[in-house]
Amino acid sequence: MTAVHDDIKIDQIIRSKRKTISLEVKRDGSLIVRAPIITPRGQIEELVESKERWIRKKQELLKQRSLEVPAKKFFPGEQFLYLGQPYTLEVVNEQADSLVLKDKFYLTANSQNNAQIIFTNWYRKHAALVIKELVVNRAQENGFAYARIGITSARTRWGSCGPKGSLNFTWRLIMAPREVIDYVVVHELVHLQVRNHSKAFWGEVSNLMPEYLDHRAWLRENGHQLTLD
């Protein structure tokens, strides 16, 4: 771990062939700097110092959010999101599968020690089903051609579009309302044709989903809740 003056800590510097410097504050408050390979250390520290106010504000926001949404303990009575709706967890002695969703989430008692893995796998499976359906429908309706659909474990990058037409979505999206997931699907499908976030890009998103601003705002305000840890 390294630091610049005024106690602003740079936890990691990642150098690559990128052309610009970017700053990222992680969920735990750590600061990650991504920079071009030849960028002098002094230039990085100057940028961090100039962005001190933004960094501290971001760290405080994430600290508050972590208190609002503590890591799951997988105890009876806890609530877990699925398609935007909260479901209470109940622990039972026996059932066919380790985790079942009906009116509640039902988890077998002998699975509690591995509950996070079980929930993650359950969410990933259902994310793949729901997202594939949305992608297929949107693609067929609007003439998009994609290569494949992948499900990732990304924490804040809801979706991405690869240079060869592959679409990737985090399983955490399955906790969001269906219409919000659909917005992310539309967003990435449009990237198949417009690779940037230009006015033309947002115009096409708006054509396909006039209310997209509502769903984008929902993610900004509630995205931190789409987690198990």
Instruction: Say yes or no to pLDDT of 29 above 90.
Output: no
Q: Are 48 and 55 in contact (CB under 8 A)?
A: yes
Q: What angle do CA 135, 212, 83 make, to 5 degrees?
A: 60
Q: Return the higher-pLDDT residue of 46 and 2.
A: 46
Q: Sketch out the chain's domains with CATH numbers.
A: 2-68 (no CATH), 79-113 (no CATH), 120-225 (3.30.2010.10)
**Reported confidence tier of residue 135, pLDDT bands at 50, 70, 90:** very high
Residue type, 172: R
pTM assigned to the model: 0.79
Mean pLDDT along residues 88-117: 97
pLDDT digits (tens, 9 = 90+) for 60-85: 887 877 777 788 999 999 999 999 99
How long, in residues, is the chain?
Answer: 229
Mean pLDDT, the chain, as a whole number? 93
* List of residues 6+ apart from 229 with CB closer than 8 A: 71, 72, 116
Listed residue (154, 156, 209) closest to 183, CA to CA:
209
CA distance 22 to 83: 32
Question: So what's the pLDDT on residue 80?
Answer: 98
Pairing of strands 148-152, 166-170: parallel
